[in-house]
Each structure stands twice: as C-alpha cells, then as structure tokens.
Structure 1
Amino acid sequence: MDDGARRTHGPPGPAPRADASNGNLQQSTHLTVEAATKAAQAALKAAEKENQRVSVAVVDRNGTTLVTLRGDGAGPQSYESAVKKAYTAVSWNAPTSELAKRLTNAPTLKDIPNTLFLAGGAPVTAKGAPVAGIGVAGAPSGDLDEKFARAGVASLGR
C-alpha cells in the first residue's frame, strides 16, 4: 500500500550543524555547583554568626534549584520560602526587598507562580546579567534574610 510518502534509500546525509556561527545557539553563563555550595554555606554561616536559624537556597539562571541548606532549628516554612525568594531574585535580577516595593503599583505580581515578594533574595550577576539567585528565609525580618543572602553573593567575589 502506497501512503504517498517519498522513500529514499542509502545513508542519510550529514546532520545539520547547530552552532553559534549559524545563529542556532546562544552562550550563557551559569554558576557551578561548587560556587553555589560556597555561596549557600557563606549565607548560612553569616546567619549562624548572628544566632539566626534559616534556610538557604541557590537557584540557577533558569530558576532550577542547585543547592538548599536548612540550618539547625530553621522553621518548616523557611525551606520553601528561601527557594521562592531565590527564584524571584534571579527572575527580575533585583533584590527581593526592591521587588516587594513594586507591589504597590503592580499588586498582581504576587500572583506569578513560585515567586515571593518579601526581602531575603539577592541576584548573582555576571556582566550585568543574572546567573543565579540566593534566597534566605527564617530570620525574624526580611532585612536580616537579605543581609545573609548578600553575604552569599559576596563570597563569590573572594
């Protein structure tokens, strides 16, 4: 039975190339797992120095979780909150404390899935572009959470 499909015999031709020269690929910078772990540990250590019980999350440019650390005694809600703060920071390439202020003019931002517009998230940038986000949750204030997240970011410059 002929289905009308054209059939060819012989070896297939060369596979088409996908490279930067023909515009099919783009390059991007990603944080290594080693660097993400270093940043998470630095954020947790900064919190522990101030006797704060927090969770820390580091997500990559795409919002995928690379590392999470739950500090001793951190509350059960802190884990998920840290991940969402990290995701929010990398998504908008801004600290979540700044983003929280935008809710006044755009209250529906809070309806975007997996985001949390509370202080405690900080972006990691390379050449001005976001490559990761660090989120901290569990301290008594978002300002403290964000201070510890910034300590994680700062550790990557050392």
Structure 2
Amino acid sequence: MIRSSALTALLIATAAPAVADESNAFVEFQVLKPEVAQEMADAALLACRQAGYQVGVTVVDRFGIPQVFVRDRFAGVHVYETSRRKAWTAVSFRTSTTDLAESTRAGEISSGIRHLSEALPLGGGLVVYEGGGSIVAGIGVSGAPGPDLDDVCAEAGIAAIADQIAF
C-alpha cells in the first residue's frame, strides 16, 4: 500500500506541467519528437567521436522511457545499460548525474539513492529542458574516458537541438 502510494505520488509529480490548470481533469506535457531525439543523440555521438571516444548515447522522454539509442562501432558492450541508466537517473531526479554523484557520496544524507536498482549517479546524464523550463527529455552518454567527458558530449547533443526547443 505504501509502495503503491509512493509510486502514484512519483508519477503525479513527474507528469505535472510547470503550471497546472486546476479546472481541467487532464495534464499537458511535452516530449521530443523522435526525429529531434535522434538528432540530439547523433550530435552527442559525433562530438565524442571527433574527440576520439567511442560511446553509446540514450535519449529518454520525460518519464525515463528510452526514445533513441545509438552506439559507435567500437563502444563497449556496457554503454547501452550505463547510458540508459544515466538518462533515466537525470530525469528521475531532475538533476545532472554529475551533481547527483556529488550529493549521494558516502556519508551524505542522500547516499541511499545509490542503492536503487536503476539509479546511476555517475556523470554523463543530463536533463533536457524546453525554453519555458519544463523537462522534455534526458540524455545519457557512456564510454568516454571519464564522466566529465561524457557530460561534454551530452551537452553537445543538447546544443545541437537548442534552437528547436528554446521556444
């Protein structure tokens, strides 16, 4: 019962728009078109490739459901799981996974987050916002020589579509 209530509360919190119309029984939200999600993933992959890194990139919608996954030809087998979990973690906790890595270190009040099965507080996962500040996606990159470099590639992916989502 408690678990069900917590899940319901989480779903409601993540589905709510920036400004809710209390007189309406429905909520409205935005997600990226598949073509835009693909463009973002491709741009992140290309940025890493140009830097000499072989990576995998996952784009999830605002609910953490994968929309796109791309993997460069020599990227490790682990990049699917890690890029997906990074993107999921970013949208789930509404923060970059680099920031989450810092706030969930051993001894920190939120360190228990590291025990969740899907959460991956390791740099390379970013939240994607539309111009009004609503979450529209998450992007996760895995395979560069360090999480900070995964972040750089994810940022390049977001930059590639910024003009399309900055309304």
- TM-score, length-scaled by structure 1: 0.84
How far 1:138 moved relative to its partner? 0.7
Name the structure 2 match of 1:151: 156
How many pairs are equivalent? 139
Secondary structure (helix, strand or coil) at the match of 2:153 reads helix
Name the structure 1 match of 2:71: 70
Bigger helix share: 2
Gap runs ≥5 in structure 2: 1-20
Name the structure 2 match of 1:34: 35
Question: What CA distance in whole angstroms lies between the structure 2 residues aligned with 1:44 and 1:144?
Answer: 12
How far 1:21 moved relative to its partner? 8.2
Q: Which moved more, 1:88-97 or 1:133-142?
A: 88-97
How far 1:129 moved relative to its partner? 2.1
Secondary structure (helix, strand or coil) at the match of 2:145 reads coil
Name the structure 2 match of 1:140: 145
Correspondence 1:1-158 to 2 at 5 A: 22-104=23-105, 105=108, 106-126=110-130, 127-158=132-163
Q: 1:24 to 1:97 in 2, by over 3 A?
A: same
Question: What CA distance in whole angstroms lies between the structure 2 residues aligned with 1:44 and 1:147?
Answer: 11
How far 1:22 moved relative to its partner? 4.8
Question: Residues 57-93 of structure 1: CA distance to partner in whole angstroms, max 9, x if unpaired?
Answer: 0000110000000111000111110000001111122
Q: Which runs of 4 or more aligned residues in structure 1 lie more than 6 Å from their structure 2 counterparts after TM superposition?
A: none
Question: What CA distance in whole angstroms lies between the structure 1 residues aligned with 2:117 and 2:87?
Answer: 13
User: Does the CA-based 8 Å contact 1:93-1:129 persist in structure 2?
Assistant: no
Question: What CA distance in whole angstroms lies between the structure 2 residues aligned with 1:21 and 1:142?
Answer: 41
User: Does the CA-based 8 Å contact 1:78-1:138 persist in structure 2?
Assistant: yes
How far 1:94 moved relative to its partner? 1.6
Q: CA RMSD in A?
A: 1.4
Question: What CA distance in whole angstroms lies between the structure 1 residues aligned with 2:92 and 2:64?
Answer: 7
User: Does the CA-based 8 Å contact 1:59-1:66 persist in structure 2?
Assistant: yes
Question: What CA distance in whole angstroms lies between the structure 2 residues aligned with 1:139 and 1:43?
Answer: 11
Question: What CA distance in whole angstroms lies between the structure 2 residues aligned with 1:63 and 1:113?
Answer: 14
Secondary structure (helix, strand or coil) at the match of 1:29 reads coil
Name the structure 2 match of 1:15: none
Question: What CA distance in whole angstroms lies between the structure 1 residues aligned with 2:93 and 2:135?
Answer: 8
Gap runs ≥5 in structure 1: 1-19
Which entry has the higher C-alpha Rg, 1 or 2? 1
